[in-house]
């Protein structure tokens, strides 16, 4: 896999003569009138109304001279309010000018522009044609933008080009480059350390790998263990998906892409945390070696699982990684996975479901989502459904026979591997945009990245 082309950013020292994109508060009518000048009547006649989202160009001596975007101040910290700039601004270098907006709008606009400018292509790509001038103090925005593009690239890669080994290689290169220590576990070592995960990958010729990475800002920093489901393609196994259900299964490694992007950004932003990362990179295929319905698998914890459905493989990948993560007694464990369709039925594609055994940790995450406009929604670990996972031949099953509460029972399964007293949160995400919207082009998406990074800061401040 080739790295994504250069971000559409440029420093003031590198920029060519830059035109201005004016970001104007909808309440600053005086500033807007001054910018429009003699063109106000003409633009109003063309439908420009100065309301939130209104956009227009101003003429210059040789064509387009400047651009105007009107913004509701209440949305000035939402990158998606500026997501249309990535498509609308013509070729050349542009610099942001604020009118009646808090300085936070500049960072939101930079990120939103970059999110909207993203395109996935396997062709060679050069320097972007349209670029924004980035001030030196916006280093964190650049780091976050780079992580968003990287995570999207991974999810968008077709499965024939990004299997378990390739995903592990990409993670290793990205993290070693940033100074993290990385080990890639495979073969007999993987079978011994992660027996349940290994069974998931038995059906594929592309054997599973596990990435374990560590990076520490300083001694004594709060330790957070990140875990991502990296199922590079999910056929469903013997419980085979239908054709429609299989179309987007290259995105089933979206949890791994999200957590890898989080760690890359956290390192680049020099967050004051001690991070561990575990990615379970595997393919769920059909063959004579694949796990079968009715099989009983042994997990790293020693607990046994009866397979009721081979298409519920993500939780089998995560459970061994959660067990290992807890062995170092981190301040918190966060896992992310494209785990259940039930979460999408409940919350739709844009809002990841959050489950947690700790109210304070859940509060950190939810408040971070509100502040960053990258929302999650907490759902209950309703233990009244624990018995639904009972098995007569194993410690429990991987699914329930009941056609309800699928996201909850999946989270309850994972919680069985979290030791008493260990803070843990599970994020059930979609990792995909079904269509083009401002700032969210169709394809892979690292939903929750801004929330998680903000929450890491909260965990530090409250450790």
What is the side-by-side order of every strand in the sheet holding 209-216? 181-185, 209-216, 274-284, 223-234, 332-337, 424-428, 353-356, 377-378
From 227, 182, 457, 223, select the one nearest 332 (Cα to Cα): 223
Q: Which residues of 207-235 are buried (b: 16+ CB within 10 A; e: fewer)?
A: bbbbbbbbbbbeeebbbbbbbbbbbbbbb
Tokens linked to 352? 């990841």
| Distance from C-alpha of 452 to C-alpha of 458, rounded to nearest angstrom | 10
> In the annotation, is 241 catalytic?
yes
Bridge pairing between strands 181-185 and 130-133: unpaired
Verify whether residue 402 is a known catalytic residue: no
Distance CA 448, CA 290 (A): 33
What distance in Å separates the CA atoms of residue 259 and residue 227, rounded to the nearest whole number?
7
Neighbours of 424 (CB within 10 A): 26
Cα angle 361-314-200, degrees, rounded to a multiple of 5:
140
Angle at 206 between CA 205 and CA 210, to 5 degrees: 135
Shortest CA distance to 170 belongs to which of 251, 318, 281, 333? 281
Distance, CA of 354 to CA of 179 (rounded, Å): 30
- From the list 191, 241, 437, 458, the catalytic residue is 241
Burial of residue 107 (number of CB atoms within 10 Å: 0-12, 13-18, 19+): buried
Catalytic residue among 152, 223, 315, 423: 315
- Helical pair 406-415 and 314-326, crossing angle rounded to 10 deg: 30
- The set of catalytic residues is 241, 315
């Amino acid at each position: 896999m080739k790295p994504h082309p250069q971000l559409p950013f440029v420093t003031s020292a590198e920029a060519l003569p830059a035109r201005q994109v004016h970001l104007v508060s909808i309440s600053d009518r005086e500033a807007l009138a001054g910018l429009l000048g003699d063109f106000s009547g003409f633009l109003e006649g063309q439908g420009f109304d100065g309301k939130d989202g209104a956009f227009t160009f101003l003429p210059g001596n040789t064509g387009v001279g400047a651009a105007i975007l009107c913004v509701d101040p209440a949305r000035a910290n939402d990158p998606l309010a500026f997501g249309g700039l990535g498509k609308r601004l013509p070729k050349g270098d542009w610099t942001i000018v604020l009118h009646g907006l808090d300085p936070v709008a500049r960072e939101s606009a930079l990120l939103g522009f970059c999110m909207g400018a993203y395109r996935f292509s396997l062709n060679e790509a050069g320097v972007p044609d349209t670029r924004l001038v980035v001030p030196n103090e916006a280093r964190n925005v650049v780091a976050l933008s780079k992580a968003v593009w990287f995570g999207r690239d991974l999810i968008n890669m077709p499965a024939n080009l990004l299997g378990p080994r390739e995903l592990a290689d990409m993670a290793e290169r990205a993290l070693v480059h940033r100074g993290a220590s990385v080990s890639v576990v495979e073969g007999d070592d993987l079978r011994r350390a992660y027996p349940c995960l290994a069974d998931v990958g038995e059906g594929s010729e592309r054997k599973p790998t596990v990435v374990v990475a560590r990076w520490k800002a300083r001694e004594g920093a709060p330790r957070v263990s990140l875990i991502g489901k990296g199922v590079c393609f999910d056929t469903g196994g013997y419980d085979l998906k239908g054709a429609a259900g299989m179309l987007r299964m290259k995105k089933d490694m979206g949890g791994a892409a999200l957590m890898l992007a989080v760690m890359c950004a956290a390192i680049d932003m020099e967050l004051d945390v001690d991070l561990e990362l575990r990615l379970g990179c595997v393919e769920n295929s059909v063959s004579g070696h694949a796990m079968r319905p009715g099989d009983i698998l042994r997990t790293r914890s020693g607990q046994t699982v009866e397979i009721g459905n081979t298409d519920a493989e993500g939780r089998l990948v995560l459970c061994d990684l959660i067990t290992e993560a807890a062995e170092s007694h981190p301040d918190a464990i966060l896992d992310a996975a494209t785990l259940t369709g039930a979460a999408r039925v409940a919350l739709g594609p844009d809002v990841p479901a959050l489950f947690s055994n700790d109210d304070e940790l859940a509060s950190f995450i939810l408040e971070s989502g509100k502040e960053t406009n990258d929302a999650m929604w907490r759902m209950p670990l309703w233990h009244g459904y624990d018995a639904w996972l009972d098995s007569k031949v194993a410690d429990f099953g991987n699914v329930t026979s009941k056609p309800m509460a699928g996201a909850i029972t999946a989270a309850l399964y994972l919680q069985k591997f979290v030791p008493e007293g260990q803070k843990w949160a599970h994020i059930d995400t979609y990792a995909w945009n079904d269509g083009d919207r401002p700032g969210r082009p169709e394809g892979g998406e690292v939903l929750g990245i801004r929330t998680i990074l903000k929450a890491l800061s909260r965990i530090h401040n409250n450790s």
